[in-house]
Amino acid sequence: MITMKDIVREGHPVLTQVAKDVELPLNENDKKTLEEMLLFLKNSQDEEIAQKYDLRAGVGLAAPQLGISKRMMAVHFQDFDENEYSYGLINPKIVSHSIAQTYLSSGEGCLSVDREVPGYVPRYQKITIKATDLDGNEVKLKLRGYAAIVFQHELDHLNGVMFYDHINKQDPFTIPENAKACDQ
């Protein structure tokens, strides 16, 4: 099972590389990896398992965070409207997005970053993502608010982008233009 020791931390070159497309149909190895990534997120949100294995409660994980430079990501979380999102996605891409931006007023963190980096992270308020799921089906997801933020955070990892790359250097707490805080 994946635990925190398997997650590479900032400074590791894989986190700033652009990950490669995954060959479809998914081979056994890639499928197993993606299933393990989803299981890690579920385990990390289970009080007992998270305590036993000292896991940080994760809502998303990208393959490069395991040192695997492939375009695969997993998400597992509920947004405040209680919509459930639990996916293993292959070769995800944003096919459309709003002009309007959003951001978490609490800022962002990362499983690969063992420090606080204060500041607002501007992201698109609404995105439409196309990808292949673990069963090999084409999925098209229309996301907004917190869900859009999580998916964009993971997608960034596939392009070697860290959340703090988006924080305004002059004033980390400037409100991004045409942005509305996300109420999570």
Ligand X SMILES: CC(C)(C)[C@H](NC(=O)Nc1cc(F)cc(F)c1)C(=O)N(CC(=O)NO)CC1CCCC1
Binding site for ligand X (CB under 6 A): 45, 56-62, 65, 108-111, 149-150, 153-154, 157, 184
**In this complex, which beta carbon is closest to ligand X, that of residue 22 or of residue 66?**
66
Number of helices followed by number of strands (H, E) in the chain: 3, 8
154 is catalytic: yes
- Which residue type is seen at 33? T
**In this complex, which beta carbon is closest to ligand X, that of residue 59 or of residue 143?**
59
Task: Tell me if 77 sits within 8 A of 59, measured CB to CB.
Answer: yes
Catalytic residue among 10, 35, 84, 154: 154
- Binds 31: which of ligand X, Zn ion, none (CB < 5-8 Å by kind): none
Give the strand pairing for 138-144 and 72-78: unpaired
Binding region for Zn ion (CB under 5 A): 110
- Binds 158: which of Zn ion, ligand X, none (CB < 5-8 Å by kind): none
Bridge partners, 175 (sequence order) = none
**Shortest reach from residue 158's CB to ligand X, in Å:** 10
**157 assigned to a ligand binding site:** yes
**153 assigned to a ligand binding site:** yes
**Shortest reach from residue 109's CB to ligand X, in Å:** 4
- Tokens linked to 13: 């070159």
**Shortest reach from residue 63's CB to ligand X, in Å:** 10
Residue for token pair 């096919």: 95
**In this complex, which beta carbon is closest to ligand X, that of residue 84 or of residue 135?**
84
CB atoms within 10 A of CB 15: 21
- Tokens linked to 84: 């459930």
- Which residue type is seen at 55? L
- Which residue type is seen at 12? H
Q: Which residues are catalytic?
A: 154
Annotated binding site for Fe cation: 110, 153, 157
